[in-house]
Chains A and B, each alone.
Chain A
Amino acid sequence: MPSADSLRPNPEELLRKVQADERRERRGRLKIFLGYASRVGKSFRMFDEGRRRKERGQDVVVGALQSGVTPDIQEILKHIEVIPSIHTRHAGRNYDVIDMSALFRRHPQVCLIDGLAYDNPPGSRNPQRWQDVSELLDRGIAIITAVNLQHICEQQDQVERITGKRAANNVPEAFLHEADEIEVIDAPPDALLDRTGAKMIADPRSLAELREMALLLAADVVDRQLQEYLDSHGVAARWGAQERILVCLTPRSNAAEMLHSGQRNKLRFHGALLAAYVEQPGLRQHERELLDKHLALARQLGAEIHALKGSDFVDAILAFAHEQRITQLFLGHTGRPGRSWLVRSPIDRLIDGAEGFDVRLFPHEGAL
């Protein structure tokens, strides 16, 4: 079996997992509203959810507000208790820091935090607001908060490429993955331009690119949560909505064409690209060199590379493909029939065993 040892969790890992689960049990629930640009309406949606929860009898307070509260949010705030943040000045700048001790004392069921990406002034309890939120969660307080794409640390390079601007405050993407729920606030860019009077990012094209990024980011968060849920409930891996492409490399395969096609599909589908080879002991010098060249190209194209062990090529590839929830498998072929009609060729066996994924056959170079 391929890399079966590395996949079986060891006892320490299991223990860590159990502890993490216990921590999660005690922890308050985290819900994040994600928007793709300012004023897409995520703050309103967050406060509106707070209002509805309050009406249903939950104990809701506001822990942080952003400056410039709009009239519709002002209306909601009439009905929800606000724990005022602490106003300070540092090096000539104004800061509003969450009053952590007041919140600990008050200990509400649910706390609304607007503006998750916020740097606290030096000397604060935590350098960043998301760390404050993390502490509140640890105390068992449920948090509803809102953040914009341009503040997600790992997305900032790409956002800057699109808008030419970089937001000062950020939140690590890992914090999104920790959330129990993430909700996307989607709206066509035109509607946004109407609403803002084209103040922030006037270019509808940039807005559309940011919108796509936010949707894909949310899809990735959702995909990971689904896989974690399935894993923890002992449900066998099954396809998600993401296309996962596996290129099978052998020394003589037309690796360049397979890898470039794979990369194109990865970009088009916003999927994942994997490349795998089965370790063979009897490889000759020039075969080794060819394989190394293929692997270097795979690395260059951003493929995730896996070395599989196993006495049988087909079994190793099939097991790996199923475990990795592959949806498209790329494989080279010589175009020659099998050695004998009594023995099924590896390609036939692979096609027979391809449960739930497509097999795309690429002729070897010079197979004509």
Chain B
Amino acid sequence: MSAPAKGKLKVYLGYAAGVGKTYRMLEEAQELRQKGVDIVIGYFEPHGRKETIAKTEGLEAVPRRPLTYAGSQFEEMDTAAILRRKPAVAVVDEFAHTNVPGAERVKRWEDVHVLLEAGIDVLTTMNVQHLESLNDQVFHSTGIRVRETVPDWVVDEADELVFVDLTPRALRNRLERGVVYSPEKAHRAMENFFTETNLTALREMALRHTAHEVEEKLDADAAATLAESPGEPPAASPPAGRAERILICLTGRPSSAILIRRGKRVADYIHADCLALHVGGDSHNREAVERHMSFARNLRIATHVIPGKDVSGAVAGFARAHGVTQIFMGRSAPLPWWKRYRETIVQRLVRQARDMQITIVAERRR
């Protein structure tokens, strides 16, 4: 027997808790059920919200799986049980959730992938701030460093993305009325995360991201159509430029994470290839380098290592050999005053890679 066709993924994207993502998702679930589709709830987080809970009425729920961790009881989605039940569609709340240690998979989106592979369609929810590539921008705009992130490609692969909108004012009204959280928690939330400026900034990111995904799908469809009928020239092709290829220079310094996210984001937007390179075998921060390399690989960036001390020479050589058009690097660490006569790596690279563009990424602070 051949493997089942992969299930379709639909993501309801919001910008904060309480905008109505789960509600919209359950509305669709009810519509599907009424049409006779075999649909179950794989995971649902009620948060004590009455209107949302009411929307689950009549929907079959697969019981969660209890787990004990550090002496406490937790419940996670029971992926194996859903696979056994094998519905046509599963509703899975909170796509960005991290499972408790001891669960089969680290992230809920990995569980969702298992369901999709088994041919089950999935409806899910997430907030824009959980997108890896927006992490620094979110920190800059709101002062909050989001820890639970989802690599962008996971969301890019969704078949449908729907933006669930609510104005910040309406959301704050909901908080005040105690619809989203308990009054005490709501009050704290409104002073910290749920400020008008934070919410507005996040909402703009969600709008732009959804627009970007819509455009990417249009481009992909156009490319597919073109491939089917190669005889016809495209009506309006994007401005031609040479194929771009971005190289990210990794180090063990903490700013490398920002560099990776930024380089990948730019590469994705301009449709460039993206590579990462670390030069040197400096053993004192090998662990940090390895962490950054694996982070890059998680974002689907091909990583390379070149041993040696001549960083700028190795980078310039590698870039030339691989047809790189743009090198991304962090700012050089400031030199002590007695070494100021020395060239920094950035300066040396500018001199050695005169045929390439070099982008120096600044840290994003508050």
Q: Do A and B bind each other?
A: yes
Do the beta carbons of A230 and B197 come within 8 Å of each other? yes
- Given B167, B208, B269, B357, which contacts A216 in the complex, CB threshold below 8 Å? B208
Residues from 319 to 355 in A contacting B, C-beta threshold 8 Å: 333, 335-337, 341, 345, 347-348, 351-352, 354-355
Is A361's CB within 8 Å of the partner chain B?
A: yes
Is A211's CB within 8 Å of the partner chain B?
A: yes
Is A269's CB within 8 Å of the partner chain B?
A: yes
Binary contact track B319-332/A, C-beta < 8 Å → 1, others 0: 00000001000010
Do the beta carbons of B141 and A358 come within 8 Å of each other? no
Residues of B within 8 A of A183 (CB): 165-167, 170
Q: Which among A180, A184, A238, A341 has the highest number of chain B CB atoms within 10 Å? A: A184
Looking at B70-78, B105-113, B213-221, B248-256, the stretch in contact with chain A turns out to be: B213-221
Residues of B within 8 A of A351 (CB): 331, 346, 360
A355 to B361, CA, bound (A): 10
Q: How far is the CB of A355 from chain B (nearest CB, A)?
A: 6
A363 to B362, CA, bound (A): 20
Is B200's CB within 8 Å of the partner chain A?
A: yes
Is A173's CB within 8 Å of the partner chain B?
A: no
Do the beta carbons of B365 and A356 come within 8 Å of each other? yes
Is B275's CB within 8 Å of the partner chain A?
A: no
Binary contact track A172-202/B, C-beta < 8 Å → 1, others 0: 0000000011111111101000000000000
Is B278's CB within 8 Å of the partner chain A?
A: no
Question: Which B residue sits closest to A258, measured CB to CB?
Answer: B357
Given A181-B170, A351-B346, A367-B354: A341 touches B341 (CB 8 Å cut-off): yes
- Given A222, A261, A267, A333, which contacts B203 in the complex, CB threshold below 8 Å? A222
Do the beta carbons of A181 and B270 come within 8 Å of each other? no
- Given B214, B239, B357, which contacts A362 in the complex, CB threshold below 8 Å? B357
User: Is the interface on chain B under 10, 10 to 19, 20 to 34, or 35 or more residues?
Assistant: 35 or more
Is A215's CB within 8 Å of the partner chain B?
A: yes
Residues from 293 to 321 in B contacting A, C-beta threshold 8 Å: none
Residues from 99 to 118 in B contacting A, C-beta threshold 8 Å: none
Residues of A within 8 A of B269 (CB): 265, 268-269
Given A226-B201, A361-B359, A367-B354: A356 touches B165 (CB 8 Å cut-off): no
Given A186-B162, A229-B197: A333 touches B218 (CB 8 Å cut-off): no
Is B356's CB within 8 Å of the partner chain A?
A: yes
A182 to B262, CA, bound (A): 30
Do the beta carbons of A180 and B214 come within 8 Å of each other? no
Do the beta carbons of A260 and B350 come within 8 Å of each other? no
Given A186-B163, A186-B210, A270-B211: A226 touches B204 (CB 8 Å cut-off): yes
Looking at A113-121, A146-154, A239-247, the stretch in contact with chain B turns out to be: A239-247
Residues of A within 8 A of B167 (CB): 31, 181-183
Is A163's CB within 8 Å of the partner chain B?
A: no
Given A212-B215, A263-B239: A241 touches B350 (CB 8 Å cut-off): no
Is B160's CB within 8 Å of the partner chain A?
A: yes
A181 to B203, CA, bound (A): 12
Q: A238-B140, A264-B241 are in contact. List 20 more A-B contacts (CB 8 A).
A: A31-B167, A183-B165, A205-B221, A215-B207, A216-B211, A219-B208, A222-B200, A222-B203, A226-B197, A239-B137, A241-B208, A242-B208, A268-B269, A270-B212, A336-B351, A345-B347, A348-B344, A356-B362, A356-B365, A360-B326
Is B288's CB within 8 Å of the partner chain A?
A: no
Q: Which among B167, B214, B331 has the highest number of chain A CB atoms within 10 Å? A: B214
Question: Which A residue sits closest to B13, measured CB to CB?
Answer: A186
Q: Which among B161, B204, B331 has the highest number of chain A CB atoms within 10 Å? A: B204
Is A223's CB within 8 Å of the partner chain B?
A: yes
Is B290's CB within 8 Å of the partner chain A?
A: no
Q: How far is the CB of A61 from chain B (nearest CB, A)?
A: 20
Q: How far is the CB of A8 from chain B (nearest CB, A)?
A: 24
Given A184-B207, A219-B207, A270-B208: A260 touches B241 (CB 8 Å cut-off): yes
Is A368's CB within 8 Å of the partner chain B?
A: yes
Binary contact track A235-263/B, C-beta < 8 Å → 1, others 0: 10011111000000000000000001101
Residues of B within 8 A of A190 (CB): 160
Q: How far is the CB of A141 from chain B (nearest CB, A)?
A: 18
A208 to B361, CA, bound (A): 34
Q: How far is the CB of A209 from chain B (nearest CB, A)?
A: 7
Residues of A within 8 A of B170 (CB): 181, 183
Is A305's CB within 8 Å of the partner chain B?
A: no
Given A242-B208, A270-B211, A348-B347: A188 touches B162 (CB 8 Å cut-off): yes
A348 to B208, CA, bound (A): 33
Q: Which among B160, B239, B354 has the highest number of chain A CB atoms within 10 Å? A: B354
Is B358's CB within 8 Å of the partner chain A?
A: yes
Is A290's CB within 8 Å of the partner chain B?
A: no
Do the beta carbons of A368 and B347 come within 8 Å of each other? no
Given A185-B165, A208-B214, A215-B214: A360 touches B197 (CB 8 Å cut-off): no
A351 to B358, CA, bound (A): 12
Do the beta carbons of B218 and A205 come within 8 Å of each other? yes
Given A212-B214, A337-B351: A239 touches B140 (CB 8 Å cut-off): yes
- The 9 A-B residue pairs with the shortest CB-CB distance, nearest first, are A335-B354, A215-B211, A219-B207, A181-B167, A186-B163, A241-B204, A241-B205, A212-B214, A360-B359
Residues from 134 to 191 in B contacting A, C-beta threshold 8 Å: 137, 140-141, 160-167, 169-170
Is A44's CB within 8 Å of the partner chain B?
A: no
Do the beta carbons of A361 and B360 come within 8 Å of each other? yes
Residues of B within 8 A of A267 (CB): 238-239
- Given B169, B344, B361, which contacts A358 in the complex, CB threshold below 8 Å? B361
Do the beta carbons of B162 and A215 come within 8 Å of each other? no
Q: How far is the CB of A149 from chain B (nearest CB, A)?
A: 13
Given A354-B360, A360-B358, A368-B354: A222 touches B137 (CB 8 Å cut-off): no
Is B291's CB within 8 Å of the partner chain A?
A: no
Is A359's CB within 8 Å of the partner chain B?
A: yes
Is A85's CB within 8 Å of the partner chain B?
A: no
Do the beta carbons of A335 and B214 come within 8 Å of each other? no
Do the beta carbons of B364 and A356 come within 8 Å of each other? yes
Is A313's CB within 8 Å of the partner chain B?
A: no
Is B232's CB within 8 Å of the partner chain A?
A: no
Do the beta carbons of A347 and B350 come within 8 Å of each other? yes
